[in-house]
Amino acid sequence: MTEGGISYLPKCLAVGWGKHNITVNAVAPTFIATPGTERALSNAAFRADVIERIAALHRIGEPMEVAGAVVFLASPAASFITGDTILIDGGWTAR
């Protein structure tokens, strides 16, 4: 239920703020190698499970792979994209 609410939020905000020419999007990354995930991913069994679930690429994401999507959304190239959530999950949801 929470996941559905989070993905619905940009849609609702985009409709409300669009009249002010404001776009609203979200970025939803999977496990990314950061200090915040380091402890969990240091557990070998947990890390192996996560890598297996990242169905297409079978690896942990890097911060720059998320940053690229954020830079794109903040650029003029994304000026007609609003109310969307970009999944950066290496294929996790493709399963």
Strands, DSSP E only, in the chain? 25-29, 84-88
Whether the per-residue pLDDT at 14 is higher than 80: the answer is yes
Residue 42 has pLDDT above 70, yes or no: yes
Residue 7: predicted pLDDT: 82
pTM for the complete prediction?
0.83
Does the structure show a pLDDT above 90 at 1? no
Reduced to 3 states, what is the DSSP secondary structure of residue 60? coil
